[in-house]
Every structure is written in C-alpha cells, then in structure tokens.
Amino acid sequence: DGLNTLTTQNKINDIEGAKPLQVVQGEIKFDGIDFNYGGNKTLLKCLNLHIKPGEKVGLVGRSGAGKSTIVNLLLRFYEVEAGQILIDGQNINQVTQNSLREHIGMVTQDTSLLH
C-alpha cells in the first residue's frame, strides 16, 4: 500500500500560479476537513488535527477508519470537500504538488512481515 501511495500518478492539477511549498517549521493543520469517496457515506467529517513542528504522529485504527485517506489527502492524491490542510500556514491546494511531496516523509507498517 505504501509503495502504491508513493508511486501514484497525479490526478489533480496544480492551480495556475501555484508556488513551491516553503517549509520553515513543519506545522501541519487539518482544519474542518470533510471527505468521502463520491458516495453518500461521509468518511471524514469536520476533522481537526494539529501536528506541531517536530512532533511525530502515528495513525492507528481499524481497517477502513481513514488512516490511508488522511495520508492521501495530505499528499494531495485527493481533494478535500470542505476545510483546508495547512503546512506552516500555507494551504496545500495552492502549492505545487511536487514541492509538497518533496517535504513529506512517511514510514509504513508492512503487516505481511509480522508473524
């Protein structure tokens, strides 16, 4: 899953005039995020998450809880339906996707290795 996430081709275009992301501290805010996959069932409703500079975060939950979706929204593989995601105060919808992804590191858990 992690490899698929990192090698997914861009389906979303940068806005005209998008600028490179400028990361100074690394603060991330999910501010009132709503998201669903096009169906009638909302997966995320008014998600608020504040990750402070230098903080390490693990996403834990049952299958289908939205962990991968949160990562995919941060990487802009999907667009949020409401709210905004900010990195150091910059809305990720207004920066280039390449610059965004250059600044994000992710460690996945490969459960196939667990015995």
Structure tokens at 54: 């230098």
Q: What per-residue confidence (pLDDT) applies to 115?
A: 52
- Contact between 69 and 43 under an 8 Å Cβ cutoff? The reply is yes
Strand partners, 64: none
Question: Which band of pLDDT confidence, cut at 50, 70 and 90, is reported for residue 63?
Answer: confident
- Kindly list the distances between the CA atom of residue 67 and the CA atoms of 6, 28, 55, 63, 95, in Å, as whole numbers in the listed order: 15, 16, 18, 8, 23
Closest CA to 92 of 8, 48, 28, 45: 28
Closest CA to 88 of 6, 20, 15: 20
Average pLDDT score over residue span 34-43: 84
pLDDT at residue 88 above 90?
A: yes
